[in-house]
A = this chain, B = another copy of it.
Amino acid sequence: QGSNITFYGKLDVAIENVRFSAASGKAASTASYLSNDISYWGLRGNEDLGDGTRAYFKLESGFSADTGTSSGGNQLFDREALVGYGATWGALQLGSQYAPSLFVQARSDPFGRNNNGNGITLTQQIPGNLRGFVGQLPLNNAVQYISPSLDGVVVRVLHSFSERAAAPKDLGEFSGGSIDYFKGGPLYVGLSYEVQKLAGATPTTVLSNKTAALGASYVFSQAKLFGYLMHNTLTNAAAVNAQLVGVSVPLGLSDVKASYSQRKLNGDDAGKANIIAIGYFYHLSKRTEVYTSWAHLHNGAGTNFGIWPSDKTYAPPVVAGGAGLPVLGQSINSLELGLRHFF
């Protein structure tokens, strides 16, 4: 006991300047933030059980490095809490786990899941926006199978129990899977699909929230290209489609990254939003980098997406200090200057 535990984590903090455009009934305004990008600490362990089998666990806890606040509140390990058993036939994991779709998205975006330019703002479910893949929080009460790599192909299947004894028994259930291809060469391709059962207007109504996604990246000699397509449907609602294209260019100890992502509610011209972003990352070491990143988020007349990582704007309705911004149709410019440190 007590052996083979690894502690790890990340602190990522940026001074961020945000400008909100003028919108109907709102003058333009600006604010400065100390913004927390994704920060976490965790512990994980692995036990060799012989004959290619192993037991392992992961407990990861997100926090806001600008305030020290645990991002999951009482859900201390809000970035996966799982125990797993692995063998030659693959691995079985029990606990609170990310949807397979998360990994497809993260590998298909030059910004990963960080910085104001990342695509998850428009493609991931966030509070007030239930149209996207389930990535903000892990799925609780979940069982996941992960295959071994067969000629570069890895399959993930995850099911999260509703834990309901009364009808509708499927309310709250989640099922999802992904197929990844990566053989060590320049090409990565990933496909994900998931179905989530949400509460409808009446106690017995259950809505199906379905998201399919296709992501890819390719390493050319001078640059790495990224692309991502998402299609989301919801019972009795118009479909949502989103796309991302991006590029990452290594320059010595630096990386320059750029991306364009957009999202559209079918049949609603007001339901469009897009983000254009460019970032510069300088690696002080393998574990530490400084960066600057600029992004412009355009909200359509019917959307009020906030921009990550400004915690005061990302999840509207926002707290008093954020003055209720953004409102519908209000666009945002964000400029970050940050320090990222892995441990």
Task: Please give 20 more A-B residue pairs, beta carbons under 8 A apart, in addition to A13-B83, A14-B94.
Answer: A1-B8, A1-B343, A3-B343, A4-B343, A5-B7, A13-B95, A34-B94, A34-B142, A34-B161, A45-B343, A47-B287, A63-B76, A65-B81, A67-B140, A68-B95, A68-B96, A68-B140, A69-B74, A70-B76, A164-B323
B41 near A59: Cβ-Cβ < 8 Å = yes
**Measured between C-beta atoms, what is the minimum distance from A166 to chain B in Å?**
3
B29 near A66: Cβ-Cβ < 8 Å = no
The dominant DSSP class at the A interface is: strand
As a 0/1 sequence over residues 70 to 90 of chain A, the CB contacts with chain B under 8 angstroms (1 = contact) are 101111111111110100000
Q: A8: which B residues are within 8 A, CB to CB? A: 1-2
Residues of A within 8 A of B (CB): 1-9, 11-15, 18, 20, 29-34, 41, 43, 45, 47, 49, 53, 55-57, 59, 61, 63-70, 72-83, 85, 94-96, 138, 140-143, 160-166, 169, 172, 284-285, 287-288, 290, 312, 321-323, 325, 339, 341-343
A34 near B323: Cβ-Cβ < 8 Å = no
**Measured between C-beta atoms, what is the minimum distance from A79 to chain B in Å?**
8
Known: A55-B341, A94-B339, A342-B1. A77 touches B83 (CB 8 A): no
Q: A15: which B residues are within 8 A, CB to CB? A: 94, 143
Q: A41: which B residues are within 8 A, CB to CB? A: 43, 59
B72 near A68: Cβ-Cβ < 8 Å = yes
Q: A83: which B residues are within 8 A, CB to CB? A: 11-13, 65, 339, 341
Q: A49: which B residues are within 8 A, CB to CB? A: 284-285, 288
Could you tell me the distance between the alpha carbons of A115 and B235 in the complex, rounded to whole angstroms? 40
Q: A69: which B residues are within 8 A, CB to CB? A: 74-77
Known: A94-B339, A343-B57. A32 touches B163 (CB 8 A): yes
Nearest 8 pairs between A and B by C-beta?
Answer: A166-B323, A68-B77, A68-B81, A31-B165, A34-B141, A11-B83, A70-B76, A13-B94
Could you tell me the distance between the alpha carbons of A66 and B64 in the complex, rounded to whole angstroms? 23
Known: A34-B161, A343-B5. A75 touches B67 (CB 8 A): yes
Q: A20: which B residues are within 8 A, CB to CB? A: 165
Q: A143: which B residues are within 8 A, CB to CB? A: 15, 34
**Measured between C-beta atoms, what is the minimum distance from A57 to chain B in Å?**
5
A7 near B18: Cβ-Cβ < 8 Å = no
Could you tell me the distance between the alpha carbons of A69 and B81 in the complex, rounded to whole angstroms? 9
Could you tell me the distance between the alpha carbons of A320 and B141 in the complex, rounded to whole angstroms? 16
A138 near B6: Cβ-Cβ < 8 Å = no
A11 near B95: Cβ-Cβ < 8 Å = yes
Residue among A162, A322, A339 with max Cβ neighbours from chain B (10 Å): A339
Known: A41-B59, A57-B343, A81-B68. A31 touches B1 (CB 8 A): no
Closest residue of B by beta carbon distance from A287: B47
Could you tell me the distance between the alpha carbons of A5 and B342 in the complex, rounded to whole angstroms? 11
